[in-house]
Structure 1
Amino acid sequence: MERNEECFCPACGEVTEHEVIAMGRNPLARCLECGSVHPFEGAREKKVFRVKAIVSVEGISRVCNVEMEEGEICRIGDRFVAECGDEYIGVEVTAIERGESRPHKAISNDITTLWTRKVEEVAVRISLHLGRTTTSLQIVVPGEEPFVVGETYKAGQRRIRVSRIKVRQGTMLRREGAKAKAREIRRIFAYPL
């Protein structure tokens, strides 16, 4: 089974996509940019799972799902992208159900249901690469706002250049000029300017 992972390539001098060729005590990866093989530290990826979300849209409620990472803290007012069949909707959390209780915040693993409402803005996650360091950012933008590979944007106080876009259907957009709407994006990979 082929597995790809983002890690630092000593030959390229930057974070690139790698094919994992050996796991275990001494994992090895092959850089998909330059082809060099080197040891790497496997990313300790958090498990991603779906949480049931009730989405209210103009008085009508739908049962949908929200993807959350294991151990992620969710608060009332947080924004997510809910998957409702083939449609993706930007939502804001209005209530959290944890068993019989309705706390103001909870750890994702304990959440039974999220009660949400449709909003026009969504939270977009960004992985900002600088050498061996990767920083996670999040920005809130209109769901219809397009992001384009190769373009520059402002994320908080930083200016970034988008190198890749991971969309919810699982595709990785790499070609310069490729674009996706904010509500369709799972994660943006970028470099600081």
Structure 2
Amino acid sequence: MTDVTPGERIALPCPACSPGLETVHEVLKPGGQVTVRCTDCDHVHKEQLPDETTLQRDVVVSQDGDSFTAQVDVPEEEQLAVGEEFLLETDAAVVTARITSLETDEGRTEEAPVEAVETIWSRAVGNVAVNVTMHPKDGQHDETESFKLQVPGDYEFVVGETDQLGDEEFTVEGIHIREDAHGYDHGKLDFDGDSAEAKDINRLYVRDESTTAWSAW
């Protein structure tokens, strides 16, 4: 609760219009004592916000076929769910991770309160490796090339559009979505204009657009 930002809205009693009940307040200035404004009566006052109690949980993060373990502090009233993302600070780096499974004493589940969770299983999504199946220009599907692209997790691929990444130039023909991705109507996107971020993609299907001669070897 103490880690608030200007413009954030929080629930507090207002000494002017509602000393006994909480009303919505806007944070004007963070600090040891936070300056807030009541949105009901515009009264500005300072408040000492309570420290937020957290629970430490084990985290397993998978990245490019490898995995590492760490620990993360989670607010004790948090409800965790598959698909949610969080920042994990380690000695080596700050990692953006997405929850893929939650382990409780009753087994794996997709949603649970943090107090019931023993281990958070996740994968790194800040930078990801995208599986690509590329067909040659002449349309021979029996002569395909498979490789991985290393891109930022929020890099967007669009069906029907041409991308040039490193030595590869290709037009996206289809996108297969990962099971832990949310917000998509279908697991396979193949209409022009369909798009997805790299962190949500299980495999890209593309057509080679490079000027070099095609070789299946």
TM-score (norm: length of structure 1) = 0.43
More strand by share: 1
Q: Which has the larger radius of gyration?
A: 2
